[in-house]
Structure 1
Amino acid sequence: MVKLAFGSFGDSFTGSSLKSYLAEFIATLLFVFAGVGSAIAYSDLTSDAALAPAGLVAIALAHAFALFVGVSIAANISGGHLNPAVTFGLAVGGNITILTGIFYWVAQLLGSVVACFLLNFVTNGKAVPTHGVASGMSSIGGVVMEIVITFALVYTVYATAVDPKKGSLGTIAPIAIGFIVGANILAAGPFSGGSMNPARSFGPAIVSGNFAGNWIYWVGPLIGGGLAGVIYGDIFIGSYSPVSSQDYA
């Protein structure tokens, strides 16, 4: 059962809320800078395609490490979402209000765009790679792939960071979240691109001016994140109390 709560502007513009938006902006910027930067660096240092076996491993590790750090540095301020799909999944489960979630989205998207413009600047205009489905794979196949891997990500967030019964497991939440992203990129990178994150795909699309197939990285992750919020929230957490602006992981 979906537990969306709209919230109020008063709750979404408190001092702690504004700090949360800034934390999401900074952490997402650093995550995307490292993740996209790893793809640019690999292509620059080798003659291989970024998704050659060695490049895929390097990019997956860069994303896993960067997300681990990004979640860690933002967790105590904003919850460390760094991803509109995570925010949406938490909103569906009643852990953040819609209004506050919208401002999270704005902060995350801006962080990604700024990161990609910075990469374009510091690399003297090198191409910023965008996500896209593999040749021979349908758009629907890409959406389904993104649904599955984003479900895995948001389900992990719920299990390790949101569930009130998590206990000491919460201390390894950033590691678990980073690991599932790295593993999913290894599995899905050659097929759908392994985004799991609309912000991660949006920044490169803005800077490159290439929005071909970008809708896949909104539809798939949001469905996957929403399903994880409904399933984990209803079946495993099972209880619900009305949210306030700071009642999220």
Structure 2
Amino acid sequence: MSRSDRAAQIRANLETVRARIEAACRKADRSPEEVSLIAVTKTYPAEDVRILASLGVTDVGENRDQEAAPKAAETADLGLTWHFVGQLQTNKARSVASYADCVHSVDRDRLARALGDRAEAAGRRLTCLVQVNLDDDSRAGVIGPRGGVDPSDALDLAARIDEHDALELGGVMAVAPREGDPYTAFSRLYGVASRIRDRYPRATAISAGMSGDLEAAVERGATHLRLGAALLGNRRSIVG
């Protein structure tokens, strides 16, 4: 596919996505300006990031450091805001802290400390979100396969983030369970977000909703949507 054809495809997808967001906001009596779109470019090439930027999408998300780091470097001239949204091993904290502006997937104290220490060493300030496990069988102290703390532990982790000088507590993030009603799950997340915001008023971000459940997320208060397939199509291997 030529670059012009790919750009036309992404433009059409973006128009469809924005229409969905606007419709969801109307239904929820919210302004579309309250909801930020993060383009998750996992498995897509840096050229797609450039196309998105040309269309006004400058919030970009990635799941894996080994893909994100070189892609961020390749597109450093675009002035993008980079969001790390995948599960993160502590030994990757140095790399992620060097390019990410926001880490959505902070799910344990040790990771928060590592990110804070690495950001401080790099002279950067990093926004972090508490990832919350919305699975029905979540238990305190047990991190599920997709990450996240039990809702009862979220406030304690928020405190660990807030106390580090190089970190900014941004709010919460979650992935809806594979089974069950996303509206119910995101309502639960909103409750966690409210408790954190009551103690830390600047922690207003609620990162929730992907291509298949963005309407539920918007209705339940999401401020950031993480969209990949709806914008860029079926997952594919990076080319070039």
The TM-score, its normalising length taken from structure 1, stands at 0.26
The TM-score, its normalising length taken from structure 2, stands at 0.27
Structure of higher RCO (CA pairs closer than 8 Å, 6+ residues apart): 1
| Richer in strand (by share) | 2
